């Protein structure tokens, strides 16, 4: 009922049902008079119910079921009196005679039977109109439900955005606050290591202190890397990452990264680059970060004795960088997720290798900001190859 009241409140005033009831009287009277005049002047009117049916249809379309039924009742009385009884000579009878004829209209079963097709037709129109109104009300209810649902979704979305911004702000602040003391601790540990290395190792206490300091240095380095990743993710999500591009020979960049990783890991890393320069316009620090991430991942998730291959190919309109390993490989159902933030494959989770699953997500964002693309091809048990495609000038 509430929904119907809302619907009635929205329609124009001239389509209000009460206007329909009043108009029904006027329409039936007008069509009755028209039919009588046609009958009077033509002598015989073949389809007297036509105009009354139009009145029912008109009322149904504009004012609904109630006015349509009211119009049908009036039309039935008018049609029965004027055309289906012996009292047709409307203009030849007095008003008392006309009232008596109307009161006795349905006593004659023959007259009633002749009116049934007209009544059934009118009821059919009213029924169709009723179904149309019901469908319209249901559509209105659905529209209102959808609008309410949309408002709720918008409110939830705003809350989620606020929570997301709060989380990013917390990550940024916490990472900055953590980085300062960790940098201090690591700097002090490195300074003590240098002092100890200059002294003679005469006692086991000195060796124990040196081992402890080395562990402190290693773990603070790992914490620093994790914090840097969190800061990068925070910048990416906030859209604050800015590229500082300049011309660079990608061969030299890859060679520097490979040399550093060889010194850090004492692992075999093969480098295959073109003989000539591979000039490309990039943010050197960011692309270097991508290469370091790919090479370090290849070293981390492959057997110690297996080599890692880094290849650079200069194509016609782009440069292709490939980093291959002989590790366990990645299943196909995980390949589409490895570039998502905080995602780690089940094998990586089960291993003793530490990580937050941010490196590849950061690499993907950096590459795409250079208008390039990054993807991985892998078969379980046969290793993985990561591809980075970069335009010469983005």
Q: At what angle do helices 204-238 and 359-369 cross, to 10 degrees?
A: 50
Mean pLDDT by 10 residues, the chain (394 residues): 56 75 86 75 67 81 82 81 53 54 53 72 81 77 83 87 68 63 71 69 60 71 70 66 86 92 88 92 91 91 89 93 92 87 78 74 90 92 93 82
Strand partners, 247: 281
Buried b (16+ CB within 10 A) or exposed e, 55-64: bbbbbbeebb
Q: What is the pLDDT of residue 87?
A: 43
Work out the burial of residue 190: count CB atoms within 10 Å of its CB; fewer than 13 is exposed, 13-18 middle, 19 or more buried. Answer: middle
**Helix, strand, or coil (residue 86):** coil
**Helix, strand, or coil (residue 163):** helix
Q: What is the pLDDT of residue 319?
A: 95
**Helix, strand, or coil (residue 282):** strand
* Domains of the chain in sequence order: 1-240 (no CATH), 246-391 (3.30.565.10)
């Amino acid at each position: 009922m509430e929904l119907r009241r809302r619907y009635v409140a929205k329609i124009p005033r001239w389509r209000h049902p009460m206007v329909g009831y009043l108009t029904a009287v006027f329409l039936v009277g007008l069509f009755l008079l028209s039919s009588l005049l046609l009958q009077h002047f033509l002598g015989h009117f073949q389809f007297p119910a036509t105009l009354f049916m139009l009145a029912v249809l008109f009322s149904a379309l504009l004012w609904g079921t109630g006015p349509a039924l009211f119009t049908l009742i009036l039309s039935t009385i008018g049609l029965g009196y004027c055309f289906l009884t012996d009292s047709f000579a409307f203009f030849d009878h007095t008003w008392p005679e006309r009232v008596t004829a109307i009161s006795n209209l349905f006593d004659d079963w023959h007259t009633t039977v002749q009116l049934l097709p007209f009544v059934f037709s009118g009821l059919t129109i009213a029924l169709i109109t009723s179904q149309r109104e019901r469908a319209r009300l249901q559509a209105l209810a659905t529209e209102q439900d959808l609008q309410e649902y949309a408002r709720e979704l918008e409110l939830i979305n705003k809350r989620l955005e606020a929570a997301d911004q709060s989380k990013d702000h917390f990550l940024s602040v916490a990472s900055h606050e953590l980085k300062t003391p960790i940098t201090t601790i690591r700097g002090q540990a490195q300074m003590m290591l240098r002092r100890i290395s200059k002294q003679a190792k005469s006692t086991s206490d000195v060796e124990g202190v040196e081992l402890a300091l080395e562990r402190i240095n290693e773990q603070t380095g790992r914490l620093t890397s994790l914090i840097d990743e969190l800061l990068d993710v925070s910048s990416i999500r906030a859209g604050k990452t800015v590229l500082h591009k300049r011309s660079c020979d990608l061969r030299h960049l890859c060679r520097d990264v490979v040399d550093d990783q060889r010194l850090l890991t004492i692992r075999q890393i093969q480098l295959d680059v073109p003989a000539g320069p591979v000039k490309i316009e990039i943010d050197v620090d960011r692309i270097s970060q991508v290469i370091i991430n790919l090479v370090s991942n290849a070293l981390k998730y492959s057997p110690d004795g297996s080599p890692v291959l880094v290849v650079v190919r200069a194509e016609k309109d782009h440069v292709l960088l490939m980093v291959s390993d002989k590790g366990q490989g990645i299943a196909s159902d995980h390949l589409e997720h490895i570039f998502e933030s905080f995602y780690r494959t089940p094998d990586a989770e089960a291993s003793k290798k530490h990580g937050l699953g941010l490196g590849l997500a950061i690499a993907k964002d950096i590459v795409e900001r250079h208008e390039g693309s990054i993807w991985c091809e892998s078969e379980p048990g046969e290793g993985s190859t990561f591809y980075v495609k970069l335009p010469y000038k983005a």
